[in-house]
């Protein structure tokens, strides 16, 4: 299992590096075109960083939800989640679900540094069996999906995405 995780991690890092080289223009990084995500928020049950099983639908409730698939060692993910954490209070009317394939031990320090894990609307889930990654066909991180209050896809992005754009999509999803 560790060998598979290392292969996946290497692939994700290679993808992030290639993406940065491809999309750098005048020092700015733009989101790539969407991947055609499932039109409805899937209802997987995953463990959070405390080991508690959580249903994605129960966490999303009836609020617009930002679902982000990330890797704590990815520079782009670090930047995106860091930007979100700086403006976390603007997301209080929504649910944020951050999901990763990484083992808890590899990403817990990153989650702690963000300083947002204790917010009631922020959830960190572990996709240990890669069910969510397979379902979404995650090819690069961060992969970002905005869902409305009915759990329908509103927008999707790969790579760094402007926080204002994410907030706008979430506000339209009420």
At 6 the pLDDT is 46
- Tokens 């060692």 locate to 73
Nearest Cα to 139, choosing from 40, 45, 33, 54? 33
Give backbone dihedrals phi and psi of 172, rounded to 5 degrees, phi first.
-70, -20
- Predicted model pTM: 0.80
| Domain CATH code at residue 90 | 3.40.30.10
What per-residue confidence (pLDDT) applies to 32? 44
The confidence score (pLDDT) of residue 99 equals 97
Query: How do residues 37-61 score in pLDDT, each as one tens digit?
Result: 889 999 999 999 999 999 999 999 9
Query: How many domains does one find in the chain?
Result: 1
Domain that holds residue 66: 2-172
**Backbone CA torsion sign across 136, 139, 141, 142:** negative
Q: For position 90, what pLDDT does the model report? A: 98
Cis upstream peptide for 142 (omega within 30°): yes
Token pair recorded at residue 5 = 């995780």
The residues of the chain scoring below 70 in pLDDT are 1-35
CA dihedral 110, 54, 61, 145 (to 10 degrees): 50
């Amino acid at each position: 299992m560790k060998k598979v995780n290392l292969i996946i991690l290497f692939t994700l890092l290679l993808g992030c590096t290639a993406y940065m080289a491809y999309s750098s223009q005048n020092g700015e990084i733009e989101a790539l075109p969407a991947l055609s995500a499932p039109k409805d928020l899937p209802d997987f049950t995953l463990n959070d960083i405390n080991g508690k099983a959580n249903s994605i639908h129960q966490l999303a409730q009836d609020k617009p939800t930002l679902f982000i698939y990330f890797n704590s060692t990815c520079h782009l993910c670090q930047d995106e989640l860091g930007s979100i954490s700086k403006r976390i209070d603007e997301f209080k009317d929504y649910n944020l679900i951050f999901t990763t394939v990484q083992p808890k031990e590899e990403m817990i320090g990153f989650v702690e540094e963000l300083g947002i894990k204790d917010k009631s609307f922020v959830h960190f889930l572990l996709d240990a069996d890669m069910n969510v990654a397979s379902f979404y066909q995650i090819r690069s991180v961060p992969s970002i999906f905005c869902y409305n209050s009915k759990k329908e896809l509103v927008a999707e992005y790969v790579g760094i995405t402007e926080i204002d754009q994410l907030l706008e999509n979430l506000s339209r999803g009420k």
